[in-house]
């Protein structure tokens, strides 16, 4: 059983909530809230203007992007689908290593047909000097590797 104190506390809480709701609807409450909002907005606006008028330190010039140098060096080459693939690294490396640009058709000649009947893709990771690059192409398309730009 609940005590009399519990019921009195619940009644007092309900009365306070009702009184608070009436206070929020009063003109004085709304006017005070609006003045507080306006004062806070004005203060923030003035602070923003003051911060924007300060001279910003000069930005450091961005370093120029590295220029690819050196010939193509194949890191990895995988041919197939996401579930079935073969390692075509040696085949691709023999074809393009040491050149500045290269292109060739993607076919099953690279390492066989790892996923018969499925659309296959060749994914290549290669290095131009110290810059790593990637290239990819679907079966029966041409893949381009470039270390000149």
**Is 63 domain-assigned?**
no
Q: What is the DSSP string of 73-104?
A: EEEEEEEE-SSSEEE-HHHHHHHHTT-SEEEE
CA torsion angle 51 52 53 56 (round to 10): 90
**Is 121 domain-assigned?**
yes
pTM for the model stands at 0.55
Domain that holds residue 124: 72-146
101 and 139 together in one domain: yes
100 and 135 together in one domain: yes
Does residue 21 register a pLDDT over 60?
A: no
Give mean pLDDT, residues 21-38: 78
pLDDT at position 4 is 60
Does residue 7 register a pLDDT over 70?
A: no
Does residue 62 register a pLDDT over 60?
A: yes
Confidence of residue 92 (pLDDT cuts 50, 70, 90): very high
Count of domains for the chain? 2
Among 117, 119, 149, 116, residue whose Cα is nearest residue 136: 119
């Amino acid at each position: 059983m609940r005590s009399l104190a519990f019921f009195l506390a619940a009644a007092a809480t309900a009365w306070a909530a009702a009184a608070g709701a009436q206070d929020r609807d009063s003109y004085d409450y709304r006017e005070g809230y609006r003045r507080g909002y306006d004062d806070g907005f004005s203060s923030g606006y003035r602070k923003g203007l003051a911060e924007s008028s300060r001279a910003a330190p000069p930005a450091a010039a961005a370093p120029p992007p590295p220029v690819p140098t050196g010939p193509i060096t194949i890191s990895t080459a995988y041919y197939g689908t996401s579930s079935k693939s073969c390692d075509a690294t040696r085949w691709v490396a023999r074809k393009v290593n040491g050149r500045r640009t290269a292109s060739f058709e993607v076919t099953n000649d690279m390492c066989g047909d790892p996923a018969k009947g499925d659309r296959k893709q060749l994914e290549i990771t290669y290095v131009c000097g110290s810059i790593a690059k990637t290239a990819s192409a679907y079966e029966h398309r041409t893949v381009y590797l470039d270390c000149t730009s």
